[in-house]
């Protein structure tokens, strides 16, 4: 029997999907992404489970707007404030990009707090998800540090004196406090070296660490699954229904008398 010749629509669809097929055959990434997006989740989850995705979206927005701002920002005490003013007043939609990055930092932290509150109230931090909870706490800590190091970058009066207070608080800590304060300041007082260090931490070190932890967090979510709400019969920590375990033998349940071999 002769094979039917594929139509024009099928040929166009095959041509459009060729790059994905090529990538899937050599890496398996397409199948992994498809599994992540279309994996099975409990049927009784609620809108509270979307707070993690909302926090991830906020982080992506922060990363994209931060890269755009880095094109024009100059981490130099003599040019930092003027570069911020140039971005806000002169560039097309620069005020929007800077506003999204500025207020998006607060949105990111708020969503992290709400997400972790939902996880705690739902008991989703219990076995076997303790490691995922620890990773989430580290993401929250690094996110707050990211906001602190980025606060100095506009190099205005508010940013300067707020950083002075924050660094001095760190320097009053026991043992490593003075050493940590000198590292953050880059010397005995806040100056050009401080701005350069805060910029590198805000732009390179902390975003990379947060992105790595988010990747680990998502891997654990996919591996361990999504927890149901506390009112669900399959909630975290609740024993699952199933067949009774097999009866134990030996000292716990000895055999009947007279069954001993002679």
For 84-131, the pLDDT digits (tens) are: 999 999 999 999 999 999 999 999 999 999 999 999 999 999 989 999
The SS3 of residue 235 is strand
pLDDT at 38: 85
Model's pTM, two decimal places?
A: 0.82
Mean pLDDT of the chain: 88
> Which segment, 7-16, 153-162, 219-228, is predicted with the most confidence on average?
153-162
Q: Please state, as a whole number, how many other Cβ atoms lie within 10 Å of the Cβ of residue 170.
A: 17
Euclidean distance between CA atoms 129 and 136, whole angstroms: 11
Partner residues linked to 228 by β-bridges = 235
Question: For residue 100, which of 112, 91, 111, 108 has the smallest C-alpha distance?
Answer: 108
What CA–CA distance (Å, rounded) separates 23 from 31?
A: 10
Tens of pLDDT, residue by residue over 174-222, are: 889 999 999 999 888 899 999 999 999 999 999 999 999 999 999 999 9
pLDDT at 253: 55
Mean pLDDT for 238-251 is 61
H/E stretch holding 207:
helix 206-224
Rounded Cα gap, residues 92 and 78, in angstroms: 24
- Which domains does the chain show, CATH number per domain? 47-226 (1.20.810.10)
Per-residue pLDDT tens over the stretch 51-77? 999 999 999 999 999 999 999 999 999
Nearest CA to 214 out of 78, 108, 96 is that of: 108
Residue predicted with more confidence, 41 or 145: 145
What's the CA gap between 88 and 214, in Å, rounded?
31
Give the Cα separation of 54 and 115 in Å (integer): 9
């Amino acid at each position: 029997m002769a094979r039917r010749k594929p139509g024009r629509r099928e040929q166009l669809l095959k041509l459009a999907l060729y790059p994905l097929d090529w990538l899937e055959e050599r890496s398996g990434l397409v199948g992994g992404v498809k599994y992540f997006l279309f994996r099975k989740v409990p049927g009784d989850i609620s809108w509270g489970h979307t707070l993690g995705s909302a926090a991830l979206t906020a982080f992506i927005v922060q990363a994209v707007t931060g890269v755009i701002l880095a094109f024009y920002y100059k981490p130099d005490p003599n040019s930092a404030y003027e570069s911020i003013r140039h971005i806000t007043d002169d560039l097309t939609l620069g005020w929007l990009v800077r506003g999204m990055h500025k207020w998006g930092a607060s949105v990111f932290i708020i969503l992290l707090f709400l997400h972790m509150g939902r996880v705690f109230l739902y008991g989703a931090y219990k076995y076997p998800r303790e490691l995922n909870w620890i990773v989430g706490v580290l993401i929250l800590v690094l996110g707050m540090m990211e906001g602190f190091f980025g606060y100095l970058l506009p190099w205005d009066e508010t940013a300067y004196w707020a950083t002075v207070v924050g660094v001095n608080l760190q320097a009053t800590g026991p043992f490593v406090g003075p050493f940590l304060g000198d590292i953050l300041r880059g010397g005995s007082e806040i100056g050009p070296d401080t701005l350069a260090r805060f910029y590198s931490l805000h732009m390179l070190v902390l975003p990379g660490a947060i992105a790595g932890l988010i990747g680990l967090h998502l891997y654990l979510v996919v591996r361990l699954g999504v927890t149901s709400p506390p009112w669900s019969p399959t909630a975290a920590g609740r024993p699952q229904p199933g067949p009774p375990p097999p009866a134990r033998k030996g000292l716990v349940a000895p055999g009947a008398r007279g069954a001993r071999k002679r």
